[in-house]
Amino acid sequence: MASNQAAWLEGKGMRPLAVRAADMPKAGPLEVVVKNHAVAINPLDWKQQDSGSYVGNFPAVIGTDIAGEIYAVGSDVKNFKIGDRVLAHCTGIMDHKPQSGAFQLYTAAHSALTSKIPAGMSFTDAAVLPLAVSTAAKGLYAKDYLALPAPSVSTAQRDRKGMSILVWGGSSSVGATAIQLAKASGLTVLATASARNLDALKSEVGADYVFDYKSTEAVNDIVSTIKDLHGKNSVEFGGVFDAISEPEIFKEALGPMFEFLKSDGVISVKKAAMVMPPLDLPEDVEANCVFAGMLLPGHGYDDVTQLVWGTFMPEALASGVLKPLPPPSVVGKVLEFVQDGIDQNKKGVSYKEVVVEL
């Protein structure tokens, strides 16, 4: 009989996470229990630890990204079986149940937010993707967000090129995934990153145009490229996916960019999907906060969940259309290293995803 351990958050601001016994998760009718082989760390994790936001009751098990083998399946789950290699987006942030958090040996995950991974993909690589996929998918495809064309593994579909998009923060896990999904939807993708990551965004992730966000000419260069695409090739600008969403980004970059594009007649609507929109956005900007947990079935975005997790992801992972980027950086191989990973993520990482192997 298997036993479970978890890295517990005992209270707001309490650290380190306390590694101790946890109840063995039980699969609900539409859930699977995953034996975790790798978990990834995201900015959400240190923000929850510091502030206690979206935690619910303490002690709690936080974390969203897992990859491993299915240990048990719920009674109504038809598309997975015990032993399948999978990645999953954990939604403890929605139900506040310890068994739904990532930072433990076994986790219960909704089958709709679970995907098989190909034999050649390691669990360490796969753990990079889940939260990034859900966040990018909601911002790109939901009808009340950017509402882009559906992604496809078909080369013909991916070569449509009738629309462009700007991904701000392309070297983050969410940004790199947004670039790949947008490319799979046939868009021309412009992306920003620091200078040292620009080559990787083009050669590994697939962005068409890249810009150093620290450059004083970044906004002018982005506007010029969008206008050139619009004027010469009639490419519609589909909007901005802001994977970073710091207030100064809109004030100093995206705001002026929108003004230039609107005054030149390239756009009529200033449209953006943001991980966390600034509170003082101008009234003429259509911007929505991308909260990935809403892809949990029953929260109004089941169509996006099915489109990306159900239809696109299994084929995209198998074919290499969707790659686990940025690359993982392993900080340790037991739950005690989760706190080290959280601390490292909080200090800042550049084109890498912090992962703990289990």
Cα gap 331→354, rounded to integer Å:
7
pLDDT of 18-47, one tens digit each?
A: 999 999 999 999 999 999 999 999 999 999
Say which DSSP state 17 is in: -
What are 8's two structure tokens?
């517990």
Specify the CATH number of the domain 134-293: 3.40.50.720
Residue with the larger pLDDT of the pair 258 and 17: 17
Cα gap 20→87, rounded to integer Å:
24
Q: Is the model's pLDDT at 258 over the cut of 90?
A: no
The closest alpha carbon to 155, from 118, 184, 187, belongs to 184
Task: Name the CATH superfamily housing domain 4-128+327-357.
Answer: Medium-chain alcohol dehydrogenases, catalytic domain (3.90.180.10)
pLDDT of 210-226, one tens digit each?
A: 999 999 999 999 999 99
Q: Which residue is listed with tokens 């753990």?
A: 127
Q: Burial of 49 by CB count in 10 Å (0-12 exposed, 13-18 middle, 19+ buried)?
A: buried
The pLDDT assigned to 161 comes to 66
Torsion angles phi and psi, residue 210, rounded to 5? -130, 150
Q: What are the beta bridge partners of residue 272?
A: 240, 287
Alpha carbon separation from 232 to 113, 125, 211, 270 (Å, rounded): 41, 40, 21, 21
Cα gap 122→297, rounded to integer Å:
27
- Secondary structure element (H or E) that encloses residue 166, with its range: strand 163-168
What are the domain boundaries of the chain?
Answer: 4-128+327-357, 134-293
In three-state secondary structure terms, 1 is coil
Cα gap 235→190, rounded to integer Å:
13
The pLDDT assigned to 279 comes to 66
In three-state secondary structure terms, 345 is helix
pLDDT of 148-159, one tens digit each?
A: 999 999 887 766
* Omega before residue 151 within 30° of 0, cis: no
The pLDDT assigned to 160 comes to 65
The pLDDT assigned to 276 comes to 76
pLDDT of 261-286, one tens digit each?
A: 888 788 777 778 888 776 677 777 77
What's the pTM? 0.95
The closest alpha carbon to 134, from 169, 98, 76, 87, belongs to 87
